[in-house]
Chains A and B, each alone.
Chain A
Amino acid sequence: MVADRARRVLLGGAGVLLVLGVMEAASRTGVVDAASVPPATEILSGAVEMAADGEFGGHLGATVAAWLSGVLLAVVLAVPAGLLLGSVPVLDRAALIVVELLRPIPSVALIPLAILVFVEPGRVERSLVCYACLWPILLNTLYGLREVEPVAKETLRSFGFGPLGVLLRVSLPSAAPLVLTGVRIALAVGLVVAVSAELRAGGESGLGIYLLATQSGGGRPDLMLAGALWAGVLGLLANGLLVAAERRIFRWRAVR
């Protein structure tokens, strides 16, 4: 187990180093224009410098706040909606086409509409993140409910529990691992949407606002890429935390 994990970390690290090495070599040798894509070492030193910079920290914090609150709102809306649709087949069938119609609409395409409706950039951003995150959470909740063991539900029914009791005590815990996977997918989607919304809808602070600023005037591609790198780090952290949480909370699932 431990050896496996060490091996994975080593291989992952090797992959990162390889990509950085190729980027470095491409810029240094002039395969790509070093003025538009600076060498990896410069991007990395920019990223480290930014981390110490309070102003960038504020931008990053604003994005994280909008991102996480949007995802949280999506969880609060999508999980109960999934439980409702998953347990009332008539509603599920009625909602199917609506869901399948709304789901493929890119959130970015809704930015103009969101600006009209919500006006304030922070609200625009949160609402778009929430919209984009609803679907993976809703669909995973529905998949999770479909996979609930019929015998487990019958067991609780046979002990006199009603439909609500069965839903909350069997269906919800059984579906929980897939719901959490949905949240993990939503976090990745939500971060992309949050930064895109900042780029398009503007506002006072946020990673997207910072990226825009690095492109004004002469432009600082090293800082821009360093900012983008931080977005990647956020996504990686969020995913890692959730995977770890899934392993801990849903140990029973791995064994089955």
Chain B
Amino acid sequence: MLEIKGLGHRYADGHRALTGIDLGVERGELVCLVGPSGCGKSTLLRCVAGLLRPTEGTVTLDGNTVDRVPDGLAVVFQDYTRSLFPWLTVRDNVALVLRRRGLGRRERRAAAEEALAAVGLADAVRKYPWQLSGGMQQRAAIARALAYRPSLLLMDEPFGSVDAQTREDLEDLLLTVRGGEGGMTILLVTHDIDESVYVGDRVVVLTGAPGTVHTELRVDLPAPRDQIATREHPAFVALRAEVGRAVRRP
């Protein structure tokens, strides 16, 4: 579905963020990108989103070169505070983007409330983003992307500010929306090695500055995944160690 070939990017100020990235993602797959800060993970996501035109290489989605924002895309930005619109209620933040989905006003509101309920924000729909805690804002941004029902979902450190319990719930929510009939293809950037192994079908370790693909690991863990059982599975422990070593060893 998604083909990244020889992708590299040098910013106008000369900073080289990425070089020679080759990566393919199958429809319905959940691929985690892990790596240290400054390895170009966010730049890679922005190139895939069509928000940034790479200086080298190509990104193709369903055979079409990505030279603008592709249809059916949603992005959860790392900077969720700035990504939410403070002049709109949480519900209207979600409902606004659904305009692009051709829904009527009432349907947009209903879909927004449903998505917010799914991330545990049913009681906050009429609040404004700045009235919520960081973790709740982050969940609102995730709900907005999920309500959009994208075919490709890009997430940049989406669970950084939520508490551990909520984080596990959101990881499990992601597992239910990806794959299957009309399911989403997800590219998830995370710092958390355990998380990458737990939710990922594949883990791609990026290292260096400029960033390159260091290792690609297929995660073969029994489905459905379970927060307790999966994490104590010997294969999980082994993969986690392998990813950890890859991240640390340049």
Contact = CB atoms under 8 A, between A and B. Distances in A.
Contact of B69 (A157, A174, A250, A253): A157
Interface stretch (B56-64, B71-79, B107-115): B71-79
A158 B49 CA distance: 7
Interface string B75-110: 101010011011100000000110010000000000
A218 interface: no
A152 B85 contact: yes
A209 B82 CA distance: 52
| Majority secondary structure, A binding face | helix
Contacts of B71: 160
Contacts of A174: 87
A63 to B, nearest CB: 35
A160 B75 CA distance: 11
A159 B73 CA distance: 6
A256 B132 CA distance: 12
A152 B130 CA distance: 14
A154 B69 CA distance: 10
Interface string B215-227: 0000000000000
Given A159-B148, A170-B85, A173-B87, A151 B79 contact: yes
Nearest to A252: B86
B87 A151 contact: no
Contacts of B49: 158
Contacts of A253: 86
Residue among A149, A155, A159 with most chain B CB within 10 A: A155
Contact of A160 (B69, B85, B128, B130): B69
A161 B100 contact: yes
A27 B203 CA distance: 86
B51 interface: yes
Contacts of B96: 156, 169
A155 B195 CA distance: 25
A115 B200 CA distance: 75
B128 A152 contact: no
A256 B130 contact: yes
Task: List 4 tightest A-B contacts by C-beta distance, closest first.
Answer: A252-B86, A151-B82, A158-B75, A159-B97
Interface of B: 49, 51, 69, 71, 73-75, 77, 79, 82-83, 85-87, 96-97, 100, 128, 130-131, 148
Interface of A: 149, 151-152, 154-161, 169-170, 173-174, 176, 250-253, 255-256
21 contacts: A151-B77, A151-B82, A152-B82, A152-B85, A154-B51, A155-B77, A156-B97, A157-B69, A158-B49, A159-B74, A159-B148, A160-B69, A160-B71, A160-B100, A161-B97, A170-B85, A173-B87, A174-B87, A252-B130, A255-B86, A256-B130
